[in-house]
Amino acid sequence: MMDTETARIFMESMEDFDRKMSAMSQYAGDIARRTIIIVSLVIFLGMMCTAYLFLLVNELGEDMQQLGGNMVQMYQHFGDMSEEVESISYYVKNIGDTVSLMPQIAQSMQAMSGDMGEMTVNVGQMETDVVNMDKNMGSITVNMRDMTNRFGVMTQNVDYMRSNINEMSRPIRGLNKVMP
User: In this structure, what CATH number is given to the domain that contains residue 142?
Assistant: 1.10.287.950
Question: What's the rounded Cα separation, in Å, for the pair 60 and 72?
Answer: 18
The residue-averaged pLDDT of 38-49 equals: 93
What does the alpha-carbon distance between residue 28 and residue 14 come to, in Å, rounded to a whole number?
21
DSSP state of 97: T
Which of 15-29, 122-136, 160-174 shows the highest mean pLDDT? 15-29
pLDDT of residue 179: 58
Q: Number of folded domains in the chain?
A: 1
Domain span at 144: 4-178
Predicted TM-score (pTM) of this structure: 0.40
| Chain segment 141-164, per-residue pLDDT in tens | 887 788 788 878 888 887 887 787
Average pLDDT over residues 58-83: 83
Q: How many CB atoms lie within 10 A of CB 106?
A: 20
Average pLDDT, stretch 126-136? 80
- pLDDT of 177: 62
Least confident of 63-67, 108-112, 128-132: 108-112
What's the confidence (pLDDT) of residue 5? 87
pLDDT of residue 30: 92
| pLDDT higher than threshold 60 for residue 77 | yes
